[in-house]
Amino acid sequence: MNITSKTKICMVIGDPIEHSLGPQKYNDIYKLLGIDDQFVYVACRVKISDVADFIKGVRAMGIRGVSCTIPHKVEVMKYLDKIDPVAEKIGAVNTIVNDDGFLTGYNTDWTGAVVPLERVTPLQGKTVALIGAGGAARAIAYGVVERGAELTIYNRTPEKAKQLAGAVGAKTGSLDDLEDIKNMDIIINATSVGMQPKHDETPLPKEYITNKQVVLDAVYTPRETRLLREAKEQGARVVYGTEMLLHQGLDQFKLYTGHDVPEDMMRDVLDKYLPPKGTK
Protein backbone atom coordinates (compact mmCIF):
# COMPACT_ATOMS: atom_id res chain seq x y z
CA MET A 1 0.00 0.00 0.00
CA ASN A 2 1.22 3.42 -1.00
CA ILE A 3 -1.25 5.64 0.82
CA THR A 4 -0.04 9.17 1.68
CA SER A 5 -1.77 12.34 2.79
CA LYS A 6 -2.26 13.21 -0.90
CA THR A 7 -4.14 10.00 -1.71
CA LYS A 8 -7.72 10.59 -2.86
CA ILE A 9 -10.53 8.40 -1.59
CA CYS A 10 -13.10 6.72 -3.85
CA MET A 11 -15.77 4.46 -2.46
CA VAL A 12 -18.84 2.36 -3.06
CA ILE A 13 -21.98 2.76 -0.95
CA GLY A 14 -24.92 0.39 -0.58
CA ASP A 15 -27.03 -1.38 1.99
CA PRO A 16 -25.99 -4.16 2.27
CA ILE A 17 -22.44 -3.69 0.96
CA GLU A 18 -20.46 -6.67 2.25
CA HIS A 19 -20.82 -8.54 -1.08
CA SER A 20 -19.21 -5.72 -3.07
CA LEU A 21 -16.05 -6.57 -5.00
CA GLY A 22 -15.31 -2.88 -5.63
CA PRO A 23 -12.46 -2.48 -3.12
CA GLN A 24 -10.53 -5.56 -4.29
CA LYS A 25 -11.13 -4.75 -7.95
CA TYR A 26 -10.27 -1.06 -7.98
CA ASN A 27 -7.34 -1.24 -5.54
CA ASP A 28 -5.77 -3.99 -7.66
CA ILE A 29 -6.11 -1.83 -10.75
CA TYR A 30 -4.68 1.25 -9.00
CA LYS A 31 -1.66 -0.89 -8.20
CA LEU A 32 -1.37 -2.38 -11.69
CA LEU A 33 -1.52 1.13 -13.23
CA GLY A 34 0.97 2.47 -10.65
CA ILE A 35 -1.50 5.02 -9.25
CA ASP A 36 -2.06 3.42 -5.84
CA ASP A 37 -0.37 6.44 -4.24
CA GLN A 38 -3.04 8.68 -5.83
CA PHE A 39 -6.21 6.68 -5.15
CA VAL A 40 -7.61 4.25 -2.61
CA TYR A 41 -11.05 2.59 -2.78
CA VAL A 42 -13.20 1.56 0.17
CA ALA A 43 -16.77 0.34 0.75
CA CYS A 44 -19.30 1.79 3.20
CA ARG A 45 -22.66 0.57 4.32
CA VAL A 46 -24.88 3.63 4.28
CA LYS A 47 -28.51 3.53 5.37
CA ILE A 48 -30.94 5.13 2.95
CA SER A 49 -32.06 7.52 5.72
CA ASP A 50 -28.44 8.71 6.10
CA VAL A 51 -27.80 9.62 2.46
CA ALA A 52 -28.14 13.39 2.99
CA ASP A 53 -25.55 13.30 5.80
CA PHE A 54 -23.34 11.01 3.77
CA ILE A 55 -23.24 13.51 0.88
CA LYS A 56 -22.31 16.27 3.34
CA GLY A 57 -19.45 14.01 4.39
CA VAL A 58 -18.36 13.56 0.78
CA ARG A 59 -18.15 17.34 0.42
CA ALA A 60 -16.46 17.86 3.80
CA MET A 61 -13.82 15.19 3.23
CA GLY A 62 -13.29 15.76 -0.49
CA ILE A 63 -14.09 12.16 -1.40
CA ARG A 64 -13.26 12.01 -5.11
CA GLY A 65 -15.76 9.44 -6.35
CA VAL A 66 -18.73 7.45 -5.08
CA SER A 67 -20.19 4.37 -6.74
CA CYS A 68 -23.82 3.82 -5.76
CA THR A 69 -25.51 0.44 -5.57
CA ILE A 70 -28.87 -0.72 -4.20
CA PRO A 71 -30.75 1.13 -2.71
CA HIS A 72 -29.06 4.48 -3.37
CA LYS A 73 -29.13 5.07 -7.13
CA VAL A 74 -32.24 7.25 -7.08
CA GLU A 75 -32.06 8.76 -3.58
CA VAL A 76 -28.60 10.35 -4.04
CA MET A 77 -29.79 12.39 -7.03
CA LYS A 78 -31.48 15.10 -5.00
CA TYR A 79 -28.29 16.02 -3.14
CA LEU A 80 -26.00 16.51 -6.15
CA ASP A 81 -25.09 19.77 -7.93
CA LYS A 82 -25.55 18.44 -11.44
CA ILE A 83 -26.96 15.32 -13.04
CA ASP A 84 -25.58 14.26 -16.38
CA PRO A 85 -28.47 14.43 -18.93
CA VAL A 86 -28.31 10.67 -19.62
CA ALA A 87 -28.51 9.80 -15.92
CA GLU A 88 -31.38 12.28 -15.62
CA LYS A 89 -33.26 10.49 -18.39
CA ILE A 90 -32.58 7.07 -16.86
CA GLY A 91 -33.61 8.41 -13.47
CA ALA A 92 -30.69 6.83 -11.62
CA VAL A 93 -27.07 7.61 -10.77
CA ASN A 94 -24.43 4.93 -10.20
CA THR A 95 -21.39 7.22 -10.23
CA ILE A 96 -20.73 10.52 -8.40
CA VAL A 97 -17.68 12.60 -9.26
CA ASN A 98 -16.51 15.34 -6.90
CA ASP A 99 -14.64 18.19 -8.64
CA ASP A 100 -13.48 20.49 -5.84
CA GLY A 101 -16.81 20.30 -4.03
CA PHE A 102 -19.01 20.25 -7.16
CA LEU A 103 -20.80 16.91 -7.32
CA THR A 104 -21.95 15.47 -10.64
CA GLY A 105 -23.99 12.27 -10.99
CA TYR A 106 -23.52 9.93 -13.96
CA ASN A 107 -24.91 6.58 -15.04
CA THR A 108 -22.49 4.07 -16.57
CA ASP A 109 -24.86 1.10 -16.31
CA TRP A 110 -26.37 1.70 -19.75
CA THR A 111 -23.09 1.64 -21.68
CA GLY A 112 -22.17 -1.42 -19.65
CA ALA A 113 -25.04 -3.23 -21.38
CA VAL A 114 -24.89 -1.63 -24.81
CA VAL A 115 -21.16 -1.97 -25.52
CA PRO A 116 -20.89 -5.79 -25.10
CA LEU A 117 -24.21 -6.30 -26.94
CA GLU A 118 -23.04 -4.22 -29.90
CA ARG A 119 -19.93 -6.33 -30.18
CA VAL A 120 -22.21 -9.25 -31.02
CA THR A 121 -25.02 -7.52 -32.93
CA PRO A 122 -25.98 -4.03 -34.05
CA LEU A 123 -28.98 -2.71 -32.10
CA GLN A 124 -30.35 -0.33 -34.72
CA GLY A 125 -33.68 -1.65 -36.00
CA LYS A 126 -33.49 -4.85 -33.92
CA THR A 127 -36.35 -6.16 -31.77
CA VAL A 128 -35.46 -6.56 -28.10
CA ALA A 129 -37.37 -8.36 -25.32
CA LEU A 130 -36.38 -7.04 -21.90
CA ILE A 131 -37.52 -9.03 -18.88
CA GLY A 132 -37.59 -6.88 -15.74
CA ALA A 133 -38.46 -3.27 -14.95
CA GLY A 134 -36.31 -2.48 -11.89
CA GLY A 135 -33.19 -0.36 -11.55
CA ALA A 136 -30.97 -2.43 -13.84
CA ALA A 137 -33.73 -2.70 -16.45
CA ARG A 138 -34.16 1.09 -16.55
CA ALA A 139 -30.58 1.71 -17.67
CA ILE A 140 -30.66 -1.14 -20.19
CA ALA A 141 -34.03 0.01 -21.60
CA TYR A 142 -32.70 3.53 -22.09
CA GLY A 143 -29.52 2.19 -23.73
CA VAL A 144 -31.14 -0.10 -26.29
CA VAL A 145 -33.80 2.47 -27.29
CA GLU A 146 -31.08 5.13 -27.56
CA ARG A 147 -29.27 2.83 -30.00
CA GLY A 148 -32.35 2.49 -32.21
CA ALA A 149 -33.78 -0.86 -31.10
CA GLU A 150 -37.51 -1.61 -30.89
CA LEU A 151 -38.10 -2.61 -27.28
CA THR A 152 -40.79 -4.71 -25.55
CA ILE A 153 -40.72 -4.90 -21.73
CA TYR A 154 -42.03 -7.88 -19.72
CA ASN A 155 -42.30 -7.74 -15.94
CA ARG A 156 -43.86 -9.67 -13.06
CA THR A 157 -45.57 -6.44 -11.95
CA PRO A 158 -47.12 -5.21 -15.23
CA GLU A 159 -47.67 -1.63 -13.98
CA LYS A 160 -43.91 -1.19 -13.59
CA ALA A 161 -43.35 -2.43 -17.13
CA LYS A 162 -45.93 0.05 -18.42
CA GLN A 163 -44.35 2.91 -16.51
CA LEU A 164 -40.86 2.17 -17.83
CA ALA A 165 -42.14 1.58 -21.37
CA GLY A 166 -43.87 4.97 -21.28
CA ALA A 167 -40.69 6.67 -20.07
CA VAL A 168 -38.36 5.26 -22.74
CA GLY A 169 -40.78 4.76 -25.65
CA ALA A 170 -41.24 0.98 -25.64
CA LYS A 171 -44.07 -1.55 -25.80
CA THR A 172 -45.06 -4.01 -23.08
CA GLY A 173 -45.76 -7.73 -23.21
CA SER A 174 -47.19 -10.21 -20.73
CA LEU A 175 -45.15 -12.84 -18.93
CA ASP A 176 -48.16 -15.12 -19.41
CA ASP A 177 -47.84 -14.93 -23.17
CA LEU A 178 -44.23 -15.23 -24.23
CA GLU A 179 -44.82 -16.62 -27.73
CA ASP A 180 -43.75 -13.33 -29.40
CA ILE A 181 -40.31 -13.57 -27.81
CA LYS A 182 -39.44 -16.39 -30.22
CA ASN A 183 -39.45 -13.89 -33.08
CA MET A 184 -37.36 -11.22 -31.40
CA ASP A 185 -33.70 -10.63 -32.21
CA ILE A 186 -32.38 -10.04 -28.70
CA ILE A 187 -33.49 -11.24 -25.24
CA ILE A 188 -32.25 -9.53 -22.07
CA ASN A 189 -32.85 -10.67 -18.49
CA ALA A 190 -32.71 -7.77 -16.02
CA THR A 191 -34.53 -9.55 -13.17
CA SER A 192 -32.75 -11.33 -10.35
CA VAL A 193 -34.24 -14.67 -11.44
CA GLY A 194 -31.47 -17.27 -11.75
CA MET A 195 -29.13 -15.54 -9.31
CA GLN A 196 -27.40 -17.56 -6.59
CA PRO A 197 -28.60 -19.33 -4.55
CA LYS A 198 -31.58 -19.88 -6.86
CA HIS A 199 -29.44 -20.81 -9.84
CA ASP A 200 -31.91 -23.50 -10.94
CA GLU A 201 -34.47 -20.86 -11.92
CA THR A 202 -34.82 -19.14 -15.27
CA PRO A 203 -36.95 -16.16 -16.33
CA LEU A 204 -37.74 -17.70 -19.73
CA PRO A 205 -38.53 -21.29 -20.69
CA LYS A 206 -36.01 -22.75 -23.12
CA GLU A 207 -38.54 -23.30 -25.92
CA TYR A 208 -38.82 -19.55 -26.50
CA ILE A 209 -35.14 -19.24 -27.43
CA THR A 210 -33.93 -19.88 -30.99
CA ASN A 211 -30.58 -20.12 -32.74
CA LYS A 212 -31.16 -16.75 -34.45
CA GLN A 213 -31.13 -14.82 -31.19
CA VAL A 214 -28.66 -13.07 -28.90
CA VAL A 215 -29.30 -13.50 -25.16
CA LEU A 216 -27.83 -11.25 -22.44
CA ASP A 217 -28.25 -12.02 -18.75
CA ALA A 218 -27.50 -9.18 -16.32
CA VAL A 219 -27.11 -11.82 -13.58
CA TYR A 220 -23.44 -12.83 -13.18
CA THR A 221 -23.53 -15.11 -10.14
CA PRO A 222 -23.33 -17.82 -11.40
CA ARG A 223 -21.46 -16.59 -14.48
CA GLU A 224 -23.30 -19.04 -16.66
CA THR A 225 -26.91 -18.81 -15.55
CA ARG A 226 -29.47 -21.42 -16.47
CA LEU A 227 -30.87 -18.93 -19.03
CA LEU A 228 -27.49 -18.61 -20.77
CA ARG A 229 -26.76 -22.34 -20.59
CA GLU A 230 -30.10 -23.14 -22.21
CA ALA A 231 -29.67 -20.33 -24.77
CA LYS A 232 -26.38 -21.95 -25.82
CA GLU A 233 -28.08 -25.33 -26.03
CA GLN A 234 -30.64 -23.75 -28.38
CA GLY A 235 -27.81 -22.39 -30.54
CA ALA A 236 -28.26 -18.72 -29.55
CA ARG A 237 -25.30 -16.37 -29.07
CA VAL A 238 -24.88 -15.26 -25.46
CA VAL A 239 -23.49 -12.21 -23.64
CA TYR A 240 -22.43 -12.78 -20.03
CA GLY A 241 -23.39 -10.46 -17.17
CA THR A 242 -19.70 -10.15 -16.31
CA GLU A 243 -19.22 -8.21 -19.56
CA MET A 244 -21.77 -5.65 -18.35
CA LEU A 245 -19.93 -5.38 -15.07
CA LEU A 246 -16.66 -4.95 -16.91
CA HIS A 247 -17.82 -2.17 -19.22
CA GLN A 248 -19.69 -0.16 -16.61
CA GLY A 249 -16.53 -0.37 -14.51
CA LEU A 250 -14.25 0.89 -17.29
CA ASP A 251 -16.39 4.00 -17.75
CA GLN A 252 -16.65 4.61 -14.01
CA PHE A 253 -12.89 4.21 -13.50
CA LYS A 254 -12.17 6.80 -16.18
CA LEU A 255 -14.56 9.30 -14.58
CA TYR A 256 -12.82 8.99 -11.18
CA THR A 257 -9.19 8.86 -12.28
CA GLY A 258 -9.00 10.04 -15.90
CA HIS A 259 -7.25 6.75 -16.74
CA ASP A 260 -8.27 4.27 -19.40
CA VAL A 261 -7.99 0.75 -18.00
CA PRO A 262 -6.98 -1.85 -20.60
CA GLU A 263 -9.99 -4.12 -21.00
CA ASP A 264 -7.98 -7.30 -20.40
CA MET A 265 -6.61 -5.90 -17.16
CA MET A 266 -10.14 -5.32 -15.83
CA ARG A 267 -11.22 -8.77 -17.10
CA ASP A 268 -8.28 -10.48 -15.34
CA VAL A 269 -9.09 -8.68 -12.09
CA LEU A 270 -12.76 -9.68 -12.30
CA ASP A 271 -11.69 -13.27 -13.02
CA LYS A 272 -9.62 -13.19 -9.86
CA TYR A 273 -12.50 -12.18 -7.59
CA LEU A 274 -15.62 -13.67 -9.14
CA PRO A 275 -16.37 -17.35 -8.51
CA PRO A 276 -14.49 -19.48 -11.08
CA LYS A 277 -16.22 -20.12 -14.40
CA GLY A 278 -18.38 -23.21 -14.40
CA THR A 279 -19.11 -23.09 -10.65
CA LYS A 280 -22.57 -22.53 -9.30
On whether the CB atoms of residues 95 and 252 are closer than 8 A, the answer is yes
C-beta closer to ligand ATR: residue 63 or 204: 204
Residues that bind ligand ATR (CB under 6 A): 70, 132-137, 155-157, 160, 190-193
C-beta closer to ligand ATR: residue 63 or 140: 140
C-beta closer to ligand ATR: residue 104 or 163: 163
User: End-to-end alpha-carbon separation of the chain, Å?
Assistant: 33
29-55 burial, b if ≥16 CB within 10 A, otherwise e?
A: bbeebebbebbbbebeebeeeebeebb
The residue number with the shortest CB distance to ligand ATR is 134
Quickly list DSSP for 60-119.
HHT--EEEE-TT-TTGGGGG-SEE-HHHHHHT--SEEEEETTEEEEE--HHHHHHHHHHH
What residue type is assigned to position 86 of the chain?
A: V
Least spacing, CB of residue 155 vs ligand ATR, in Å: 5
C-beta closer to ligand ATR: residue 23 or 71: 71
On whether the CB atoms of residues 95 and 67 are closer than 8 A, the answer is yes
Q: Is 232 a catalytic residue?
A: no
Q: Exactly one of 73, 78, 212, 254 is catalytic; which is it? A: 73
Q: CB neighbours of 125 closer than 8 A, spacing ≥ 6?
A: 148, 149, 150
Least spacing, CB of residue 7 vs ligand ATR, in Å: 31
Q: What is the CA radius of gyration of the chain?
A: 19
Least spacing, CB of residue 16 vs ligand ATR, in Å: 13
Least spacing, CB of residue 70 vs ligand ATR, in Å: 6
What residue type is assigned to position 133 of the chain?
A: A
Residues involved in catalysis: 73
